[in-house]
Amino acid sequence: MVGCGFGGLFAARALERTCADVLVIDRNNYHLFQPLLYQVACAALAPADIAQPIRTILRYQRNARVMLAEVERVALAERCVYAGGSRVPYDYLLLAPGAVDNYFGHEEWRRFAPGMKEVEEATLIRSRMLRSFEAAEIEGDAAERAAHLTFIIVGAGPTGVELAGAIKELAVDVVARDFSAIDTRTARVILIEAGERVLPALHRDSSARALAQLRTLGVEVRLGAPVTQVFADGVEVGGERLRSHNLIWTAGVRAAPLTATLAVPLGPGGRVRVAADCSIPGHPEAFVIGDAACLVDAASGRAVPGVSQGAVQMGRYVAHVIDAQLRGVPSARARAFHYRDLGSMATVGKSRAVVELGGLRFGGLLAWLAWMALHISVLIGFRNRLAVLSSWIYSYVFFRRGSRLITGLAPAPAREPIAPATAAPEQLRAGPAAAAPAAAAEAPAAQAPARPERRA
């Protein structure tokens, strides 16, 4: 099994009481609960709260082994994968490498607008945001201060919507009392979407409800506005340039680059076109699931969405097929995979969310509580559930977030000397230039180092 996301993990667990010898290969030593990764970026949770070591998860599964390595390529004809300099043969292969952010042919934008797929990206975004508040506190130029207090999210899917609401709450409710020279409540959070509505995968009623909640919170939403250029200090939208030192990309995903090594036909977004049983055509022993698979549900005629519940269902289905094959029951493949839509939900902020369960659609406090309960219940590990629940309760009651750590080597930008501690409050708000006439020479702001793209 290549990849221990939702699909790979649940497939491995489903094979526990079988005669299969399971080898899980992943470049990370942990399983990451990606739906809550945005809360790490917004300082609401720590990375360890939403991650669990793979070896800990599978420690009691006697037929499972773990290999920490990056898979460079898959040789279907040889029935082996090449990982960490080793050749690893297989009888059955399950590929669940996940997805990477899609910059639609503009990979150079990644260094300015990181995505939200990895822990490292989330902590980078967190540090950039917190550094921006610090830089704005000592910035004398009004335009530059405004750029530090402007946060732009590109893409209004679930991650973008949830991130926009969380950043606005961070600025308004959490850090507002921590700074004296700036009013963080005036921070601009701009959510940009090329389509006509937010949360396009949900019903129009849910999209409209989420849009209203975002605007009530103070988030600026721009619809039908594709980004045409990304710069180090902003974006260009419809001929207008918006300045910001905090750009975040949540505008879609594509399959992990590993799929390109298979030498098989690929579908939209680099996904592998698989058969009804999730196998690669011509290779009944090799399966692809999750974000890397392009599969049309035979019953509904619609493509299986790249969401966690789809990956979980595909993982369990493939595990059942492999187990049946090992037991000599080949007829298991005759029953094609069928995706069951268990509903969709997204949170916009504290006491704000939208939920769809079958034909039932609702929002507000009840939807927010349902969203919290579901995410707590599906987290891996009791310790993680307890940590997340306690953090949420603490944040709800005290309007505080306990993970506001600036990490990394980049120093906080400083263009002018900090005003003396004896300066009057009105001098501080006017900027260091008003408090200290002798300004120092301008120093260029240090930029956070770009993080190279990693392959599954």
Nearest to 298 by CA among 282, 280, 275: 275
Same domain, 222 and 310: no
User: Domain check: are 274 and 202 in the same one?
Assistant: no
Domain boundary among 235, 251, 267: 251
For residue 409, the model assigns a pLDDT of 61
Task: Please indicate, yes or no, whether residues 242 and 201 belong to a single structural domain of this protein.
Answer: yes
> Are 247 and 127 in the same domain?
yes
Write down the pLDDT at residue 391: 92
User: Is residue 129 domain-resident?
Assistant: yes
Q: The pTM is what?
A: 0.86
pLDDT at 359: 83
Given pLDDT bands bounded at 50, 70 and 90, which one contains residue 358? Answer: confident
Local structure of residue 170 (DSSP, 8 states): I
Residues 162, 296, single domain; the answer is no
Confidence check: pLDDT of 430 > 70: no
Q: Show the beta-strand stretches assigned E in 194-317.
A: 220-223, 227-231, 234-237, 240-243, 246-249, 253-255, 272-273, 279-280, 283-288, 293-294
Q: Is residue 217 part of a domain?
A: yes
Of 120, 123, 146, nearest to 135 (Cα)? 146
Is residue 433 in a domain?
A: no
Residue 404 domain-assigned? no
Same domain, 169 and 206: yes
Domain with residue 234: its CATH number is 3.50.50.100
CA–CA separation, 413 and 148 (whole Å): 10
Same domain, 127 and 219: yes
CATH of the domain at 10: 3.50.50.60
- Strand locations in 358-404 (E): 360-363
Of the listed 121, 137, 139, 162, which one is catalytic?
A: 162
Say if residue 112 is in the same domain as residue 246. yes
Q: Which of 293-307, 346-360, 399-413 has the lowest mean pLDDT?
A: 399-413
Note the pLDDT tens digit of each residue in 302-330.
Answer: 899 999 999 999 999 999 999 999 998 87
226 and 300 fall within a common domain:
no
- Which one has a higher pLDDT value, 299 or 227? 227
The answer on pLDDT for 446 being more than 50 is no
Higher-pLDDT residue of 434, 89: 89
* φ, ψ (nearest 5 deg) of residue 271: -80, 150
Handedness of CA 217, 218, 219, 222 (dihedral sign): positive
Q: How many CB atoms lie within 10 A of CB 102?
A: 18
Inside any domain, residue 320: yes
The yes-or-no verdict on residue 425 having pLDDT over 60 is: no
Q: Is a pLDDT exceeding 50 seen at residue 110?
A: yes
Query: CA nearest 249: which of 97, 110, 384?
Result: 110
Residues 188 and 155 in one domain: yes
Mean pLDDT of the chain: 89
Mean of the pLDDT values across residues 429-451? 42
Parent domain of 232: 107-251
pLDDT digits (tens, 9 = 90+) for 128-165: 999 999 999 999 999 999 999 999 999 999 999 999 99
356 given a catalytic annotation? no
> Residue 399: what pLDDT?
73
157 lies in the same domain as 244: yes
Cβ neighbors of 254 (< 8 A, separation 6 or more) are 99, 100, 101, 102, 269, 270, 271
Q: Which two tokens stand for residue 216?
A: 């009530």
Share of the chain above pLDDT 90, in %: 80
- 413 part of a folded domain: no
Q: Is residue 447 part of a domain?
A: no
Please report, to the nearest 10 degrees, the dihedral formed by the alpha carbons of residues 375, 381, 384, 389 taken in order.
Answer: 50
Q: What is the rounded CA–CA span in Å between residue 101 and residue 213?
A: 26
Structure tokens at 376: 């707590």
Asked if residue 180 and residue 290 are part of one domain, the reply reads no
Q: Give the domain-ending residue among 334, 367, 391.
A: 334
Domain count, the chain: 2
Q: Which of residues 277, 300, 334 is at a domain's end?
A: 334
| Vertex 53 angle, CA 52 and 58, to 5° | 105
Looking at residue 435, its pLDDT comes to 40
